[in-house]
Structure 1
């Protein structure tokens, strides 16, 4: 007869099973340190925002102050980046141009969110004919080249920064719509959504309380990338004379002015061009870093 095995209580010194060890998830902004490019991009964007906010304080001259005696002056101790064809300080206009470009990008992305986010969530959750119609509309918008569509809208509404940002917002709407719709389709049949329907929650309550929080992370990601696209689009429209009205400083208008005098002062093309390039690159790398962080978070959530 075999002796029964006695179960002894585990002592406090016994190691716990590996499965019982809670997983530590990365939280906060720790994902910024994973990639140096993302960290540098974030710091550059923060610096750009600071410069835009403090533009009246740190700008050495008024952006519209003209001095025809110093027109097309080369860089010097007085004018670090030289002057344009009207004798306006290029550095001051570059600083105030950052304010215009960032505000314009925020306006465009806000319009995109207002249009694309609710339409994408409703189309993904309701489905049916509404989903079909909205998808065809977005397909039509995406089939037209972005700049051509923006030029068409501005031609109808008239030139101006508000009209240009409305055009850019409409152009970027399909991107936000598709991300919101795909994220909604991913979660609309989950258990907690079914439970909310079972207790009689309305469609609006389910969308606001259950679906919107799950759609928000990818929407933030696509919005970061869209900010860079909006900066480039605003510069393009301003370069073509369809953005800000003169004499307001804008990176695109600075490029336009510098292009007309490139044979005399070729260096004046570089500051606004480099500013546009670095800003778009920074927003792109920020979006890439956020995408990697989102994938990592979802992977950890699936394992735990």
Structure 2
């Protein structure tokens, strides 16, 4: 056993009496935190790390590493409500959280399953769970394909996600966060409730309706459509139609995104060979995190050449340039380690 899920860990009877004399009514709110504390302590004693998959919690629950949102309905409004709740949870200081992809109560249809799978794959933690089967191959082929593609992309982005998760663990900054965290002076960022930043450079806008059409607000700056390479100015809203196997995903112009070959599992130890993907071939500095250190990567654009320097342990073996519409990519790339 690697982790215990404290489902119903909040269920203290009202007439219970604790060792210190408090009744179940007195303990109603704090009991769930104490329950999670006990499970985390046992996990630490046996496995050497703190880990608990908690449903409910209380003030101080930020110290626990994983929570999920509880039992939702298998509907698009429930998916949207889950996203709103998760962003609020992040604003309360909880860096990692999850939800039941597909919804919990009932059976999602093909479109809902695909869209929730994409939302799940681009959440801090992901799991498929519900009152009926949630295995992708139990759904229509187009839903299975959409789920597989989203999960493969998540695994390809694992060095990026791991680096962002390390920052979240150290600082408390939510891994998945409302736009107002990074753009507090932008009034429109406070109203963008169904989209979020995942780490520093990815903007995700899950499709929360069956029609596949939604408006996406892009905060100040310049953003590249992940699928088309089209460049968008920030501070405005774009209307997108996403086929079932795609969802609105934007990358900050100039971002350096570390990726690996998508695999079906994440092994222990350092990441395998990493490819650094430069979105637009611009100058940029970023810090990666792996189990063996925090290498600093600096990209400098000089004319037609992009010079990338890696300071620290990182198995970066190549640099790819994503062409961006309207920009001239560098013709030469130099990698210095």
Please tell me the TM-score bracket, short chain as reference.
under 0.3
**Which structure's residues are more often strand, by fraction?**
2
Larger RCO of the pair (alpha carbons < 8 Å, separation 6+):
1
